[in-house]
């Protein structure tokens, strides 16, 4: 068997990408099909129902539930503010009256004659969906959202954390094999997408947060530093919702790993341009990769090895499990028949050659295609 299918990481200067931008509930669209949008363009908006607050009026007033209505100072459906008197007891001979105040700001939705409880609805919560990428609205889903299509540079990473963001690309080093150091992060990097080299330490990432960088793109990261940054062990999970103060995209893997030449070159060529970055990662079913997207003028879409997904002799791959995790290699053999591993499991394998000539035989699941020339 001379080829096989495997997933991979897209790295291209001439890619076309589409991103779906949808509301969680029906709302109103703010753009129409064919509109040009920027990363911060609001494409859809909705109002989530506010939180509910419950107060036991009959208990607080010291009366039976059916008698609460005649003591109300406001009607059902009225707007109230926190601390506003909403009910008052008759007291004894007009004295010793008990006043109950609204526990929150919102609307008094109902007062039950059965339970004596008042239900308040807090103000609705606005939800906005932004375009995330600069491009064109290519499809509209009425009341829910749109799809935005663009062309330009796409650099996918192997792992990331942090939400969608955008900003100008700034190169903090001219050497993809040099670690990104705390001193490389300057005040002028506030709001920027900072591109480093082979490793970002915990101190470097904290400095990036301190100066206000929106994202850091780097070759590798230490697993212990990542745990310290997050404050917990990430484990197997979908990332992208972390709130550490920045978005991180790791292009190669864990450890000190020089950023792949093609990735570093494309990011260098985009210095000064606005990039959209997401750290969202899902390794299992429904693979999702962290990404750097930079719009540009592209006349012809580039079809790369990753697009076909076909693994063949001389294909460039990255090893995504030990041994040699994160290393780039070239496929030199694709045996057709399954073979037994040390675990006695029979799997399809391949043989790869590392940059130093070392040959490794691995399960095919241990590698992924990369858009790199070896």
In order of their start, the domains of the chain are 9-17+149-295 (3.50.30.10), 52-121 (2.40.50), 305-370 (2.30.30.30)
Give residue 1's pLDDT: 44
Least confident of 138-142, 312-316, 329-333, 343-347: 343-347
How far apart, in whole angstroms, are the C-alpha atoms of residue 191 and residue 168? Answer: 8
DSSP string covering 283-322? -SSS-B--EEEEE---SSPPP-HHHHTEEETT-EEEE-SS
Query: Per-residue pLDDT for 93 more than 80?
Result: no
Residue with the larger pLDDT of the pair 371 and 283: 371
User: What does the angle CA 206 – CA 159 – CA 44 come to, to the nearest 5 degrees?
Assistant: 90
Residue with the larger pLDDT of the pair 265 and 254: 265
pLDDT digits (tens, 9 = 90+) for 1-58: 445 667 678 899 999 999 999 999 999 999 999 999 999 999 999 999 999 999 999 9
Q: What is the mean pLDDT of residues 62-83?
A: 94
Q: What percent of the chain has pLDDT over 70?
A: 96
Query: Per-residue pLDDT for 285 more than 80?
Result: no
Residue ranges of the alpha helices (H) in the chain?
57-61, 202-211, 223-230, 261-269, 305-308
Cα distances (angstroms) measured from residue 332 to each of 312, 315, 363, 374: 9, 8, 14, 12
How far apart, in whole angstroms, are the C-alpha atoms of residue 319 and residue 360? Answer: 10
Which two structure tokens, joined as six digits, stand for 97? Answer: 């009256």
Q: What is the mean pLDDT of residues 71-96?
A: 89
Q: What is the mean pLDDT of residues 69-92?
A: 92
Give residue 323's pLDDT: 80
How far apart, in whole angstroms, are the C-alpha atoms of residue 240 and residue 248? Answer: 10
Least confident of 109-123, 285-299, 332-346: 332-346
Q: What percent of the chain has pLDDT over 90?
A: 69
- Mean of all residue pLDDT scores within the chain: 91
- Those residues whose C-beta lies under 8 Å from the C-beta of residue 5, and which sit 6 or more positions away, are 309, 310, 311
Residue 210 contacts residue 244 (beta carbons within 8 Å): no
């Amino acid at each position: 068997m001379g080829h096989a299918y495997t997933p991979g990481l897209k790295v291209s200067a001439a890619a076309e990408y589409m991103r779906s931008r949808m509301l969680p509930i029906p709302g109103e669209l703010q753009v129409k099909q064919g509109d040009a949008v920027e990363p911060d363009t609001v494409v859809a908006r909705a109002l989530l129902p506010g939180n509910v607050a419950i107060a036991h009026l009959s208990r607080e007033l010291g009366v039976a539930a059916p008698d609460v209505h005649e003591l109300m100072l406001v009607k059902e459906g009225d707007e109230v503010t926190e601390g506003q008197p909403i009910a008052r007891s008759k007291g004894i001979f007009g004295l010793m009256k008990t006043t109950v105040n609204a526990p929150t700001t919102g609307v008094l939705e109902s007062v039950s004659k059965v339970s004596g409880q008042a239900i308040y609805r807090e103000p609705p919560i606005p939800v906005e969906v932004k375009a995330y990428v600069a491009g064109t609205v290519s499809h509209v889903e009425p009341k829910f959202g749109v799809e935005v299509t663009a062309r330009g540079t796409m650099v996918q990473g192997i792992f990331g954390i942090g939400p969608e963001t955008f900003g100008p690309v700034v190169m903090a080093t001219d050497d993809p094999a040099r670690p990104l150091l705390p001193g490389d992060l300057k005040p002028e990097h506030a709001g920027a997408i900072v591109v480093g080299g082979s490793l970002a330490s915990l101190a470097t990432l904290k400095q990036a947060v301190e100066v206000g960088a929106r994202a850091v793109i780097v070759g590798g990261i230490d697993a212990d530093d990542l745990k310290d940054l997050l404050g917990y062990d990430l484990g197997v999970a979908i990332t992208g919702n972390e709130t550490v103060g920045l978005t991180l995209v790791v292009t190669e893997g864990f450890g000190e790993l020089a950023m792949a030449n093609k990735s570093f070159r494309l990011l260098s060529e985009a210095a000064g341009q606005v990039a959209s970055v997401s750290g969202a990662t899902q390794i299992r079913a429904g693979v999702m990769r962290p990404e750097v997207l930079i719009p540009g003028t592209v006349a012809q879409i580039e079809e790369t090895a990753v697009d076909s997904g076909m693994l063949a002799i001389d294909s460039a791959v990255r090893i995504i499990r030990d041994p040699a995790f994160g290393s780039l290699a070239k496929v030199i053999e694709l045996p057709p028949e399954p073979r037994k591993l040390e675990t006695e499991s029979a799997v399809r394998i391949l043989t790869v050659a590392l940059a130093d000539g070392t040959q490794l035989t691995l399960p095919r699941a241990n590698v992924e295609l990369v858009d790199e020339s070896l």
